[in-house]
Amino acid sequence: MSKLHVTTTINGQPAEFLCEPHETLLTALRDALGLTGSKEGCTTGDCGACSVIMDGRLVPSCLVLAGEVEGRSVTTIEGIAQGERLHPIQQKFLEHAALQCGVCTPGFIVSAKALLDARPNPTEQETRYWLAGNLCRCTGYDKIIRAVLDAAGDMRKVPA
């Protein structure tokens, strides 16, 4: 079986890679493209550690075939910071100590980015339900929710 040649956009940059037809986007990101910030926690779409944004939509990259990103645009955790500056969500995660082991953190930050892109002023409950697809076993979510709500507040102050 020959490999697929995929041409796509990753974090705003053109990218291409070869993959097996059955390979997941997560595997391609981690192994072919060296973007190991997306984590594999389950491969069944339950933990959210591999969350990426594909054409504006939040998806678990373990449930997307690598071949599906042909011609699409994918944002991973490596593409969230703005140049040398952390994204406000990243900054607030640090200030609130919203991570302990940190392995779920990339997925949470990508999910939170998708949330705030869609809803700049979410309630606590909306935030909790939006992030319910991301498992964290260390924090009890308290500081994560606070960090996201705080980031939302800061981002609303800055004109887009």
Site residues (CB under 8 A) for other proteins? 20, 30-31, 35-44, 46-47, 49, 76-78, 80-81, 86, 90, 93-97, 99-106, 109, 125, 127-129, 131-146
Distance, C-alpha 118 to centroid of its chain: 14
Q: How far is the CB of 91 from other proteins (least distance, A)?
A: 8
Q: Looking only at Cα atoms, what is the longest distance across the chain?
A: 53
Is the CB of 8 or the CB of 38 nearer to other proteins? 38
Query: What minimum distance in Å lies between the beta carbon of 142 and other proteins?
Result: 5
Q: At closest approach, how far in Å is the CB of 5 from other proteins? A: 19
Q: Which helix (H) or strand (E) holds 18?
A: strand 13-19
**Amino acid sitting at position 116:** L
Contact 134, 47 (CB under 8 A): yes
CB of 28 to other proteins, least distance (A): 14
DSSP 79: G
Residues 148 and 136: beta-carbon distance below 8 Å: no
State which residue, 71 or 82, has the beta carbon closest to other proteins.
Answer: 82
